[in-house]
């Protein structure tokens, strides 16, 4: 799940990925299973990974299966390696979908 965050002036502030699973897009809305880990990419190149401690607690409590834990780790590594490229692709795709409508 990607949030592309812009300021009032339109400048990009940051991008945030929420690691999720089981995404379902339905007429009532979007539903997904949150896999705890969140990753921020800032314009200055800084990266922040949130909730690693919460994930470790969930793993220790048996709330995250080994398979799901492996999925989270693979996703984390992918986002660290290719996050900016993924954002660029998503922004470009959205730009192609945007249609200017007369007022």
CB 90 within 8 A of CB 83: no
Write down the pLDDT at residue 99: 60
CA gap 36, 50 in Å, rounded: 9
Q: Residues with Cβ < 8 Å from 64, sequence gap 6 or more? A: 35, 36, 55, 58, 72
Helices then strands, counting H and E runs in the chain, come out as 2, 4
Check whether 97 has a pLDDT greater than 90: no
More confident call, 64 vs 100 = 64
Q: What is the mean pLDDT of the chain?
A: 92
For the whole model, what pTM was predicted?
0.83
What digits encode the pLDDT tens for the residues 5-55? 999 999 999 999 999 999 999 999 999 999 999 999 999 989 999 999 999
Q: How far is CA 77 from CA 21, 25, 74, in A?
A: 16, 26, 5
């Amino acid at each position: 799940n990607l949030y592309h965050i812009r300021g009032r002036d339109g400048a990009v502030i940051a991008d945030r990925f929420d690691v999720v699973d089981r995404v379902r897009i339905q007429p009532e809305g979007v539903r997904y299973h949150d896999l705890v880990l969140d990753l921020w990419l800032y314009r200055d190149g800084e990266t922040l990974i949130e909730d690693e401690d919460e994930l470790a607690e969930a793993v220790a409590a048996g709330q995250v299966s080994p398979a799901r834990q492996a999925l989270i780790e693979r996703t984390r590594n992918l986002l660290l390696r290719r996050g900016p490229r993924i954002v660029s692709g998503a922004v470009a795709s959205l730009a192609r979908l945007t249609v200017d409508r007369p007022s």
